[in-house]
Amino acid sequence: MKYIEAIGKYFLMIREVFSKPTKWAIMKNLILKEIDDLVFGSLGILIFISFFIGGVVAMQTALNMDSPLLPKNLVGFATRQSVILEFAPTFTSIIMAGKVGSYITSSIGTMRVTEQIDALEVMGVNAPNYLIFPKIAAMMFYPFAVSISMFLGILGGWAGSVLGGFTTSAEFTEGLQIGFQPFHVFYAFTKTIIFAFILATIPSYHGFYMRGGALEVGKASTTSFVWTSVVIIIINYIVTQMLLGK
């Protein structure tokens, strides 16, 4: 029953987020600040991880191709498929659940502990809209970060396979072009937009409804990371079955 109650409170919170909007002159500045904090502030770690994970995927693929009958261009093909279909949209989102999710939960949770949210409500401000809507709007730019992750993951795969002597640049590039389906990119960005909404709202829920003091803020951040990751994995399975399943 506790989980059903939490799900109900989550959807009620979402309804409040999109009702009684804050004035655009104020909201615009809030959104720009959240874009800087949530999206651009996360690019550094995403760039670093994407490049090296792409290289690892390419090298592991090459090392496991023992048969001489397998063409070397399969390294590029496997790297492209792994990065576009799963690594960039899904694995990156789980990383963001730790970085961005914890930040959102702790920032809103701290406002709850220090009674700043109560003060907003006393002044007649729609607190969910004022606090959470800018985060949702900012995370709609998250596909931009994922596109960079895709590019750098493939670039890292090229560097790992070519500089490591596993394939030539021409073979890797040929593999990138084999059987390319633009729908796979559409699938990846569809997942990314859904994950962006999850990354903005589930951590916000745990911060907005937390009770207690500073210790509970840390616990709420951990809980939000766990549940955000779980929901991302479940949604990933559902969306994959809907869009790629037969």
Which tens digits make up the pLDDT trace of 136-189?
999 999 999 999 999 999 999 999 888 888 888 888 888 888 888 889 999 999
Q: What is the pLDDT of residue 174?
A: 87
> Is the separation of the CB atoms in 198 and 231 below 8 Å?
yes
Q: What is the pLDDT of residue 192?
A: 94
Q: Which long-range contacts (CB under 8 A, 24 or more apart) does 158-165 make?
A: 158/58, 158/76, 158/79, 159/51, 159/55, 160/54, 160/55, 160/56, 160/57, 160/58, 160/59, 161/55, 161/58, 161/59, 161/62, 161/75, 161/76, 161/79, 164/59, 164/62
Which tens digits make up the pLDDT trace of 207-236?
888 887 777 888 888 889 999 999 999 999
Answer yes or no: is pLDDT of 116 > 70: yes
Say how far apart CA 58 and CA 168 lie, in whole Å: 12
In 10 A of CB 75, how many CB atoms?
30
- Residue 56 CB burial class (10 angstroms; 0-12, 13-18, ≥19): middle
Say how far apart CA 197 and CA 164 lie, in whole Å: 39
> Is the separation of the CB atoms in 90 and 236 below 8 Å?
yes
Which tens digits make up the pLDDT trace of 32-63?
999 998 888 888 889 999 999 999 988 888 88
Domain residues of the chain, as ranges? 2-16+23-244
